[in-house]
Structure 1
Amino acid sequence: MVSELINANPVVYEKKERRVRNSVPPADVNEYSSEPIDQLEIFDHLRDIKDPEHPYSLEELKVITEDAIEVDDSNSYVRVTFTPTVEHCSMATIIGLCLRVKLMRSLPPRFKIDIRIAPGSHATEDAVNKQLNDKERVAAALENPNLVEMVDECLAPSFSC
């Protein structure tokens, strides 16, 4: 946790009810074929990521929403647009890195992942978007043990319901 909070009293929203997926494949589906990846699956991967400054998930803070996720499975493309809780959020790059790392760990490597800040929601959105989608910068960030520890902390499972 960061000691000096930028947004000391964020608005906390109720979590959406989890929808159960049909896990029994139809009889005519080849067992070696891949299931299409959709918006709900991506949201389920991301919704429980913890905010770096607060004990709440990105879903509870409405930093991410299902509607802000675009998936084109046939072209192996995912875009996640997130909205920081305040315009001068100093954790925006860390949040974006958490989103990227979670998807890198969860999706097949064929996917191109595009992480963006919602237009008009952050003072330095262009700079942050550039950092989050520059492969060399992301790779360098993931070599920093302090950043990796912070990301892993945000991605660690929470056992509260």
Structure 2
Amino acid sequence: MDPDKDNANPTILNPSDLPSRRRESTVKKRERAGVGLFDDLIPDHSYLNDPFDQPLSLSDSDNDSVSEDIDEQEIYDLISSISDPEHPLSLGSLAVVNLPDIHILPPSSPKSPVSTVVVEITPTITHCSLATVIGLGVRVRLEQALPPRFRVDVRIKKGTHSTDEAVNKQLGDKERVAAALENGTLMGVIRKMLSTCQ
């Protein structure tokens, strides 16, 4: 995304307008608390009940086989705070990643435990030169954060980039992605992008 081209001033969404499950927990915490200056310091738990006094329903060996459900909102929360490589804003604020463009596909066969997370990104301009880098950043973030039972598929949303087919071919080629991630300069850019993730 070259700021000197068509879109030096992209549309910027207010962070409070972005969908987030994290904000909901903060709102509930504030609703429960008073209106004082130190409300954020009130813990989310109560010591009236000893948390270690609860009976365990599963043994430690059973915990390994229980998998927590992950939904589209959780995927969005993982990637929306990634920093854009050229603008000092997040991909969520620039609407590069959007909740309706995230899909979790069930396993392709009943015997396979592997689900696929599909993320379609929307570059801020149709000739964005860093679309591939943004896609790689999203892919790296999800591969680092998600359990191995998820396959990650990041692509450019159809019709939002002048070379979306070529970029999607690059992002879908495992060998190209692996070679790109061995490039020290490129990994430095991606690390900087991911430094804003929560």
Native 8 Å contact 2:101 2:119 kept in 1? yes
**Structure with greater proportional helix content:** 2
Unaligned runs of 5+ in 1: none
In 1: Cα distance, 2:3 partner to 2:101 partner: 29
Native 8 Å contact 1:82 1:117 kept in 2? yes
Say yes or no: does 1:37 pair with 2:70: yes
Native 8 Å contact 2:2 2:128 kept in 1? no
Identity of aligned residues (%): 45
In 2: Cα distance, 1:3 partner to 1:130 partner: 22
In 1: Cα distance, 2:105 partner to 2:98 partner: 17
Alignment of 1:44-123 (within 5 A): 44-72=77-105, 74=107, 75-123=114-162
SS in 1 for 2:144: helix
Partner of 2:20: 18
Native 8 Å contact 1:52 1:150 kept in 2? yes
In 1: Cα distance, 2:161 partner to 2:197 partner: 28
Alpha carbon RMSD of aligned pairs, Å? Answer: 2.3
Measured against aligned partners, the alpha-carbon deviations of 1:35-80 in whole angstroms (never above 9, x if no partner) come to 0111011101001000011000000000001110001355411000
Determine which structure has more spread, i.e. the larger CA radius of gyration.
Answer: 2
Unaligned runs of 5+ in 2: 26-55, 108-113
The amino acid that maps onto 2:80 is R
Name the CA shift for 1:12/1:4 in 2 (closer, same or farther; >3 Å). Answer: closer
SS in 2 for 1:95: helix
Measured against aligned partners, the alpha-carbon deviations of 1:120-156 in whole angstroms (never above 9, x if no partner) come to 1000000000001110000000000000000000000
The TM-score normalised by the length of structure 2 is 0.71
